């Protein structure tokens, strides 16, 4: 059994980010060194408050830092249709004292990495903070084991025909990460669309009957309802936890190396991740791309993670 992996989670809670936080905080698998937040699903103040609420409700005491208020180049696009005005509609958290780190997100990433070795950086929102950290202090690369990001896709987008939300909010940040020379793993819509929340899954969550399951059950009810109303679908993809689940049970997600680039021209495919599945370009295979998921194993990881809080 590998020793506990050191991780930093950068996120934009967001309902699916909240479940990623839950999985990332499991002390039997991970040493969650820090949580940093970015603007994405909602504005930075809302995503930061949401991250703080979830982490503290679950008893995670790691430092939490607010990150960039805007993407590197673009104006911010949020996603209230899925996550609500608060960014995490559906559960009333206690009133915490919001003692965020005095550092901003990029600086907390830098400090945490320089103080540690062999750290996995997981991003489940736009990659603005990680990109800024890499530009501010390139030496952090020596401290990163790998980057695992939820974003992009090998097929069609979810906020434009070409692009997935996290990448389209900040394509230039994704470009910096993909061209960083780091080991990068991409968990895109092509697999996360198979991690589907439905009423049966929510019933299994609620049957666990602990503090975590009450929070997750209430949040997933709203997450599912919003997507039924917005997209007319019957099941909702729970994107972000797939990143963490892929580390807990490596057989849950299959990765293959490809050349991946992101379109930062300002045409109709802006923000698209171009995965060279047939190696047309004969370029460096700079990214391990998730190409399949065992959905049953994924849900077992999520349910087992919730049971940890008994």
Residues that bind ligand RIB (CB under 6 A): 12, 14, 16-17, 40-41, 124-125, 150, 158, 164-166, 239-240
Gap between the terminal Cα atoms of the chain: 23
12: annotated active-site residue: yes
> Could you say which of Ca ion, ligand RIB, none residue 158 binds, taking C-beta under 5 to 8 angstroms by partner kind?
ligand RIB
Choice from 84, 87, 105, 125 touching Ca ion (CB under 5 A)? 125
DSSP, res 72: S
- Give the interface segment with Ca ion, choosing from 15-23, 93-101, 126-134, 241-249 (CB under 5 A): 15-23
Task: Give dist(CA 211, CA 238) in Å, integer.
Answer: 20
Question: How many other CB atoms are there within 10 angstroms of residue 228's CB atom?
Answer: 13
- Residue with Cβ nearer Ca ion (240 or 261): 240
Residues 225-244 that bind Ca ion (CB under 5 A): 240
Catalytic residue among 10, 12, 17, 261: 12
In DSSP notation, 165-226 reads: HHHHH-HHHHHHHHTS-S-EEEE-HHHHTTSEE-HHHHHHHHHH-SHHHHHHHHHHHHHHHH
Q: Verify binding: residue 17, Ca ion, rule CB under 5 A.
A: yes
Cα 182–Cα 25–Cα 189 angle in degrees, nearest 5 = 55
CB of 240 to Ca ion, least distance (A): 5
Per-residue x/- track, 240-269, Ca ion (CB under 5 A):
x-----------------------------
Structure tokens at 16: 């699916």
User: To the nearest whole angstrom, how small is the minimum distance from the Cβ of residue 104 to Ca ion?
Assistant: 19
Q: Give the one entry of Ca ion, ligand RIB, none that residue 165 binds, where binding means its C-beta sits below a cut-off of 5 to 8 angstroms depending on kind.
A: ligand RIB
Q: Which is nearer to Ca ion, 83 or 111 (CB)?
A: 83
H or E element, residue 115: none
40 within 8 A of 125, measured Cβ to Cβ: yes
Asked if residue 126 binds Ca ion (CB under 5 A), the reply is no
Using an 8 Å Cβ cutoff, are 198 and 235 in contact?
Answer: yes
| Interface region with Ca ion, contact rule CB under 5 A, candidates 44-52, 119-127, 181-189, 293-301 | 119-127
Distance in angstroms (rounded) separating the CA atoms of residues 30 and 32? 6
8 Å CB contact between 146 and 183:
yes
Q: What is the largest CA-CA distance in the chain?
A: 54
- 239 or 272, CB closer to ligand RIB? 239
Distance CA 271, CA 160 (A): 9
Q: What is the DSSP string of 224-245?
A: HHHHHHHH--SSEE--THHHHH
Our CB check for Ca ion shows the closer of 14 and 67 to be: 14
Q: What is the nearest approach in angstroms of ligand RIB to the Cβ of residue 170?
A: 11
Q: Does 37 bind Ca ion (CB under 5 A)?
A: no
Report the residue number, 113 or 189, with the smaller CB distance to ligand RIB: 189
Closest approach, Cβ 183 to ligand RIB, in A, equals 21
Considering only 1-9, 14-22, 55-63, 96-104, which stretch makes contact with Ca ion by CB under 5 A? Answer: 14-22
Active site residues: 12
Binding site for Ca ion (CB under 5 A): 12, 14, 17, 124-125, 240
């Amino acid at each position: 059994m590998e020793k506990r992996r050191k991780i930093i989670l950068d996120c934009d809670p967001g309902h699916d980010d909240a479940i990623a936080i839950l999985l990332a905080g499991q002390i039997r698998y991970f040493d969650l060194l820090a949580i940093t937040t970015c603007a994405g699903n909602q504005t930075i103040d809302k995503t930061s408050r949401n991250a703080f609420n979830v982490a503290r409700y679950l008893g995670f005491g790691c430092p939490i830092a607010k990150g960039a208020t805007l993407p590197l180049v673009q104006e911010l696009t949020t996603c209230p249709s899925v996550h609500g005005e608060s960014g995490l509609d559906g559960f009333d958290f206690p009133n915490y004292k919001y003692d965020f780190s005095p550092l901003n997100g990029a600086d907390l990433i830098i400090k945490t990495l320089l103080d540690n070795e062999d750290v996995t950086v997981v991003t489940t929102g736009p990659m603005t903070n990680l990109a800024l950290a890499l530009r501010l202090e390139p030496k952090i690369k020596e401290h990163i084991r790998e980057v695992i990001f939820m974003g992009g896709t090998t097929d069609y987008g979810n906020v434009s025909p070409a692009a997935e939300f996290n990448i389209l909010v900040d394509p230039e940040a994704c470009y910096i990460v993909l061209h960083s020379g780091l080991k990068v793993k991409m968990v895109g819509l092509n697999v996360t669309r198979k991690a589907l929340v439905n009423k049966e899954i929510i019933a299994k969550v609620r049957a666990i009957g602990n503090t975590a399951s009450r929070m997750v059950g209430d949040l997933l009810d709203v997450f599912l309802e919003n997507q039924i109303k917005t997209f007319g679908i019957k099941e909702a993809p729970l994107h972000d936890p797939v990143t963490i689940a892929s580390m807990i049970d490596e057989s849950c997600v299959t990765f293959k190396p490809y050349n991946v680039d992101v379109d930062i021209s300002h045409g109709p495919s802006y923000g698209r991740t171009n995965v060279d599945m047939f190696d047309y370009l004969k370029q460096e295979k700079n990214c391990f791309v998730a190409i399949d998921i065992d959905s049953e194993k994924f849900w077992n990881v999520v349910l087992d993670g919730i049971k940890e809080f008994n």
